[in-house]
Amino acid sequence: MTTPTHSALEVKPDWLRRLWERMTASYGHAWVSANGVTPQRDDGSLTIAGQTWATVIADLDGNQVAAGLKACVLSGREFPPKPGQFRLLCLGDPSEAEVLAELNAVNTQRSPFARLVWQRIDSYAWRHATPERREAMVRTAYAWATEYRSHGGRLPPDPVAEIGVDAPAPKVFTPEVANAEIDRIAAMLAGQAVGGAQ
C-alpha cells in the first residue's frame, strides 16, 4: 500500500472533522486524550494524530467510513479503536469470534475474510484440535490477516465452483444374486486350492 502524499491527506478535512466529532461523541475523554480535541492545529495543518487517521481513511469512500463509525457505535466498547482497527471496521471484515464461528460451521459458504484466515491454518491440525486449540489457531491467523489487511492486502477471490465427486451408486444385490456370487467365488477358490496342491 502506498503512503498518501501530504496533499492526499488534506483532501478530506471535512471527513476528519466529522470523524473527530463522532468519535468524541461516542468515546468522550478516551478519544480526546488519545487523539486530541481536533485533527488540525491552529494554522490548519494536521496534528500527528490527524495525519495518522487521514492516512487510514485516505483511500476509503464515504460509505466505508460510515460503516466503520456505525460498527464503533454498535460495538459498545468503552475505548476507541486504534487507527488500524478502525480501518478494518470500515472494510467490513468480521470479528475474530465471527470468523471462529464460520470456520467451525459445517457446509457453509465462508466469507472472503474467513477464507483469508483459513489460509494460515493447518487443516489437519484443525480437524484434530480441541475447541480451545481452535480458538488459539484462529487468534494467531486472525492477527496475521488483520495485519495483512491493514497494509492494503486483498481478500482472496470467491471460489469459482466447488469440486464435487460423483460417487458411483452402490450396487444392491438380492439374496439370490449374493448367494450365486458366493458360490462362484467358493468354486473358484476350491479350484485354486486343488490346482495349488498339484
pLDDT digits (tens, 9 = 90+) for 15-25: 888 999 999 99
The pLDDT value given to residue 134: 95
pLDDT at 8: 42
Per-residue pLDDT, 32 = 95
CA distances from 38 to 46, 50, 74, 167 (A): 9, 8, 23, 65
The confidence score (pLDDT) of residue 193 equals 58
Three-state SS string over the chain comes to CCCCCHHHHCCCHHHHHHHHHHHHHHHCHHHHHHHCCCCECCCCCECHHHHHHHHHHCCCCHHHHHHHHHHHHHHCCCCCCCHHHHHHHHHCCCCHHHHHHHHHCCCCCCCHHHHHHHCCCCHHHHHCCCHHHHHHHHHHHHHHHHHHHHCCCCCCCCCCCCCCCCCCCCCCCCHHHHHHHHHHHHHHHHHHHHHHHC
Distance CA 192, CA 198 (A): 10
Q: What's the pLDDT score for residue 9?
A: 46
CB-hemisphere CA count at 13 Å for 165?
2
Query: Is the alpha carbon torsion for 25, 26, 28, 31 positive or negative?
Result: negative
Q: According to the model, what pLDDT value does residue 85 have? A: 82
Task: Please tell me the pTM assigned to this model.
Answer: 0.57
Q: Tell me the pLDDT of the chain (198 aa) as tens digits.
A: 444 444 444 446 688 889 999 999 999 999 999 999 999 999 988 999 999 999 888 888 888 899 999 988 887 788 999 888 898 889 888 888 889 999 999 888 899 999 999 999 999 999 999 999 999 999 999 989 988 887 778 899 988 766 666 667 777 778 888 888 899 999 889 876 555 444
Q: What is the pLDDT of residue 6?
A: 43
- List pLDDT tens digits, range 127-138: 999 999 999 999
Burial of 4 (0-12, 13-18, 19+ CB in 10 A): middle
pLDDT value of residue 2: 44
